[in-house]
Amino acid sequence: MNIFKKTTFLVLLVVSLSLQSCFVAKEYVRPELATENLYRNVHTNDSVTMASMPWEALFTDAKLQTLIHEVLKNNLDLQMAVTRVNAAESYYKHGKAGFLPSVNVSANAGDYRLADNSVSGVSNGGVGPEYQNYQLGASLSWEADIWGKIRSQKRASQAVYLKSEAGQRVVESKLVASTASGYYQLLALDAQLKVAKQTVQNRTEGLQTMIDLKEVGRVPATGVKQAEAQLYATQILVLNLERNVHLLENTLSLLLGKKSGNIERSLLAAQEIKMDLSTGFSADLLRNRPDVMLAEFGLIQTFELTNVAKSNFYPSFKISAGGGFESVSFDNWFNTAAVFSNVVGNLTQPLFNKRKVKTQYEVAKAQQEEATLQFKKALLVAGKEVSDMLYVYQTEKQTYEYRVKELKALKYAVAYSNELLNSAYGNTTYLEVLTARDYALNSEINKIDSEFKQLNAVVNLYMSLGGGWKK
């Protein structure tokens, strides 16, 4: 009998292993994508891209580097992303164990009495028998991966894990970009605030000049009041800039994962981008942009789950075995007469289950098609963002050059109009002076803003190419 059981078990095992070659789940192949010329009017033969450079090479300001390091260490969103990676890793480990059998061990002992009116009790003269039973056993079950379902489940769990890692990289890239952008904006606000405060001082002196000119009849009372209103407008500008500095420091503190407070920083004039702004090939986005990688891992996951859903149309083959010791007497629990064992092979083919299997397959196919479209869209969006940032940087660079020339001309106009107003032979009016001052202040504020936009365009270009997460 033991020989028969062993033979049966071996036959079932050989049959199950041989059936695994009957069908192999489809292997994932990346869909055809138009990866060439994603950047508008940009053609390059240089494979080097700034995205492959670590962020320390781009952002050389020591205080900014310290800030980014602290953000990557303490940011709460990133910490949550790490926990999601850890959870996905556990699922992946579970998926890799799909080929292994399930083994359970159980032990029980009990005192039993059957009912007097039960079949056993009646056959025993109306007295339910009392007995003890002791059992120690182990059971094993294993499913043969005939159609590649377990392999597909394993690859799907791996895709989920890789998708969570890509999600973490998305967070890291955005944090690096947000921190750098916020830092540069803070420096720009500092520079604008310095200009505004100096303007308040100048306009306070200018108001006194207007008062003096009024007393000698050179300027009407209206001119004094308009100069006074101009001073108040500048003081309001100072308050608005100080408010923006305060709010931006609070925002950066939140990125740091700490209470709101001051942010240590340097000066806008000290900032310098030393890296060549090279884009490389547009196809590099597939391996540099974490959001594009995330979309592809999502596609791989749905592809493998479609394999799993398709395998449900075919029969499943499982082997289960059990054995151990069982006895109604504790003294005889572990002798040879108490040994029991069983081996069972089970082949199951779904026939009619209210269209459940077909529905699952159709849903899986639809989800795979949606994931394919999401992947293609992610690549197109990435190409658009790079194209946008390249153009923004180029235009902001030109704008800054014009802002410098504009400011130089307006400062000359202010100095010349002031000179004419104070001159006994000047023919300028107080309105021309006030207007020239307003234009000059706005021009200086705008020039600083243009400096920030240039730096911010570099930050956004770096992130859009997929930089910020590589070590």
pLDDT at 119: 65
User: In what side-by-side order are the strands of the sheet with 339-348?
Assistant: 102-113, 130-143, 316-327, 339-348
Nearest CA-CA partner of 349 in 313, 309, 315, 312: 315
Q: How far apart are CA 328 and CA 345, in angstroms?
A: 29
Local structure of 36: helix, strand or coil: coil
Nearest CA-CA partner of 54 in 172, 217, 152: 172
pLDDT tens-place string over residues 196-255: 999 898 888 878 877 887 887 777 888 788 888 989 999 999 999 999 999 999 999 999
Residues 136, 325: contact at Cβ < 8 Å? yes
Instruction: Name residue 376's beta-bridge partners.
Output: none
pLDDT at 425 over 70: no
Q: How far apart are CA 171 and CA 165, in angstroms?
A: 10
- Token duo for residue 448: 């600083």
Pairing of strands 316-327, 339-348: antiparallel
**Other CB atoms within 10 A of residue 399 CB:** 17
| Cα–Cα distance list, 408 to 398, 411, 414, 447 (Å) | 16, 5, 10, 11
**Looking at this protein, which amino acid is placed at residue 22?**
C
pLDDT at 267 over 90: yes
Instruction: Name residue 177's beta-bridge partners.
Output: none
pLDDT at 37 over 60: yes
Residues with Cβ < 8 Å from 112, sequence gap 6 or more?
130, 131, 132, 133
- Token duo for residue 84: 């999601």
Residues 328, 132: contact at Cβ < 8 Å? yes
Residues 361, 313: contact at Cβ < 8 Å? yes
Nearest CA-CA partner of 273 in 396, 191, 447: 396
Q: How far apart are CA 172 and CA 378, in angstroms?
A: 18
What does the DSSP 8-state code read for residue 106?
E
Instruction: Using a cut of 0.85, tell me whether the model's pTM lies above it.
Output: no
pLDDT tens-place string over residues 327-350: 888 877 888 777 877 887 777 777
Given CATH 1.20.1600.10, say whether it is the number of domain 2-102+145-314+364-464.
Answer: yes
**Other CB atoms within 10 A of residue 16 CB:** 19
Nearest CA-CA partner of 438 in 465, 410, 468, 461: 410
Local structure of 23: helix, strand or coil: coil
Q: What residue ranges do the domains of the chain occupy?
A: 2-102+145-314+364-464
Residues with Cβ < 8 Å from 184, sequence gap 6 or more?
268, 271, 452, 455, 456, 459
pLDDT at 3 over 70: no
What does the DSSP 8-state code read for residue 25?
P
Residue with tokens 């890509």: 166
- Mean pLDDT lowest for which of 31-45, 131-145, 364-378, 428-442? 428-442
Residues with Cβ < 8 Å from 161, sequence gap 6 or more?
85, 88, 89, 91, 92
pLDDT at 414: 76
pLDDT at 43: 64
Q: How far apart are CA 160 and CA 372, in angstroms?
A: 16
How does the average pLDDT of the chain come out, rounded?
83
Using only C-alpha atoms, what is the Rg of the chain?
Answer: 38
pLDDT at 20: 45
What does the DSSP 8-state code read for residue 216?
T
Per-residue b or e along 185-195, where b marks 16 or more CB atoms closer than 10 Å to that residue's CB: bbbbbbbbbeb
Residue with tokens 């499982």: 318
